A and B are shown apart, each in its own frame.
Chain A
């Protein structure tokens, strides 16, 4: 099979769904971004809306911010979920409970999670109370809507962890014990076993997890609007601003929306290549 076809097939599950389920919406959004379906005037096929957007600082900031938060969240989530999945491969006392707890955030709706988080990190929340009680600080620290988006990223990771964990745990547990034993038997220590057996056999799951997380986070509205830095916009919050009462500019919103889809696509390609490259490099090293 040619490389390109293989890559396309690998990617198909990730955005095949997006393409099929949303092809109508996508068409509409794309068309609108080029001036069709215009609610504020004549339909006119033009590059005007894109050109205006490209000249807007807020647009580039939002794109950069969304890409940054999505990439960081995906990487951190994987970095946490992968070792956990490996550690919990073999059952031990309490491992089932731990697995269940790790999946819990999946059942907590985003806004509820925000509410819970605010209780913890708010100006008079648990963390600040504790810090002050311990004497580590004499004034509450700003944790909510912090400038660097640490709270936002932490919340994203917390929310996306179950997805990554489920996918990776499935892949890790699908490796039969005798296969790992065979590697040990042939002289492979823990590191070699990981590089040459575990990693290649879980690469697909890692690809899937990283792509899904990236896309989930890139399209986030709720978390950005509630705990994100106030001076930043995600593409989704920016889109709503254009579309909302302040502007009512549907064509501009469409441009942002199409950009978001493009970002998802780029993220999928980049993460696929990244995981493949990593796997190959590790196998060869």
Chain B
């Protein structure tokens, strides 16, 4: 179960810089996600780790060993492909058994793994079918099972759940994490679903335009975004531009407290759910729109032509048009790096 180091990796396709100087470290046995919008280079980075692509610059190390030039078949990795890439001429069962057979595992052990994975992923009734007789979600599960069947040290997941319905996605997500803890492998998981990234990972690497925009634990990434992109891409964010003086920024809603020195131009950011509704609140605004979401309530509050998004418990009953008062905890407000003067 190797740890992975990516050192200054860049990848150029003709005129396109798919990756520009990416460095990251995945500790042995960790579960990390690469999160980012379409085209930011996630698949490219996985392909480089798997060895399908040779980077234009930089190195890939497994346990400190340089594997940049090592052939994919000699690397201890297995990839779950975004396009599934199932063998069209082999049945579900044979697809899953391909890896173990290639690694010359004992027959009984191969059979045990194949049956186990088919059982776990609900594929048992389809064992003898060819891939083109399966639904998208079923094919995706075969791809997952095929990668896991070789019990590799590193599993590379390229959006492995994108085609499953919400319920199945939750179930398979939990199974992947359980399996990872039980069997033990280093996981690099690509997704553009931020909830999935936050729910599954030890560390999230946020990619944008071929560079790592920010990395950290899920809480860190979510509550302490460092850039506008990070704030926007992961969940909803409220932003304010202006000067900071005396530990607060004046806004049409009132003073937003922040733990930062005075400055002429800054951008503040806070998450909708940190808000506290209270009669004694220092901020106020008019409720323009209310969206009941079940567990919570989305409030769109306006003042001076600006709109904020607040998230409060679904048990509140607030009518549209009401004026509300609220507080924002000082520690929940962050100053963005690429703020107003960047």
Q: Which residues of A line the B interface, CB within 8 A?
A: 176, 178-179, 181-189, 192, 196-197, 200-201
Determine the distance from Cα of A27 to Cα of B236 in the docked complex, in whole angstroms. Answer: 79
Residues of A with C-beta under 8 A to B84: 178
Binary per-residue interface labels of chain B (140-164) against chain A in the complex, 1 for a CB within 8 Å, 0 otherwise:
0000001100100000000000000
Determine the distance from Cα of A179 to Cα of B82 in the docked complex, in whole angstroms. Answer: 11
Contacting A178 at CB < 8 Å: which of B73, B78, B85, B89? B85
User: What are 8 of the A-B contact pairs (CB < 8 Å)?
Assistant: A178-B85, A183-B98, A184-B73, A185-B52, A186-B150, A187-B102, A188-B73, A188-B102
* A181 near B72: Cβ-Cβ < 8 Å: yes
* A185 near B88: Cβ-Cβ < 8 Å: no
Which parts of B71-119 form the interface with A (CB within 8 Å)? 71-73, 77-79, 81, 83-89, 98-99, 102-103
B50 interface hit (Cβ, 8 Å): yes
Residues of A with C-beta under 8 A to B146: 182, 186
CB distance from B99 to the nearest CB of A (A): 4
* A186 near B102: Cβ-Cβ < 8 Å: yes
CB distance from A180 to the nearest CB of B (A): 9
The A interface is mostly helix, strand or loop, or mixed, namely helix
* B102 near A182: Cβ-Cβ < 8 Å: no
Determine the distance from Cα of A184 to Cα of B74 in the docked complex, in whole angstroms. Answer: 9
Determine the distance from Cα of A188 to Cα of B150 in the docked complex, in whole angstroms. Answer: 12
A185 and B72 in contact (CB under 8 A), knowing A178-B81, A192-B102?
Answer: yes
Determine the distance from Cα of A115 to Cα of B337 in the docked complex, in whole angstroms. Answer: 78
| 6 smallest beta-carbon distances between A and B, as pairs | A178-B85, A186-B99, A187-B102, A182-B85, A184-B72, A200-B89
Residues of A with C-beta under 8 A to B83: 176, 178
Contacting A184 at CB < 8 Å: which of B71, B86, B87? B71
Task: List 20 additional A-B contacts (Cβ < 8 Å) besides A182-B85, A185-B147.
Answer: A176-B85, A178-B81, A179-B87, A179-B88, A181-B72, A182-B79, A183-B98, A184-B52, A184-B72, A185-B52, A185-B72, A185-B77, A185-B79, A186-B98, A186-B102, A186-B146, A187-B99, A188-B98, A192-B102, A201-B88
A186 and B78 in contact (CB under 8 A), knowing A181-B52, A181-B72, A192-B102?
Answer: yes
- Name the residue in B51, B84, B88, B146 with the highest tally of chain A Cβ atoms < 10 Å from its Cβ: B88
- Name the residue in B50, B51, B84, B89 with the highest tally of chain A Cβ atoms < 10 Å from its Cβ: B89
Residues of B with C-beta under 8 A to A179: 85-88
CB distance from B77 to the nearest CB of A (A): 7
Residues of A with C-beta under 8 A to B85: 176, 178-179, 181-182
* B150 near A201: Cβ-Cβ < 8 Å: no
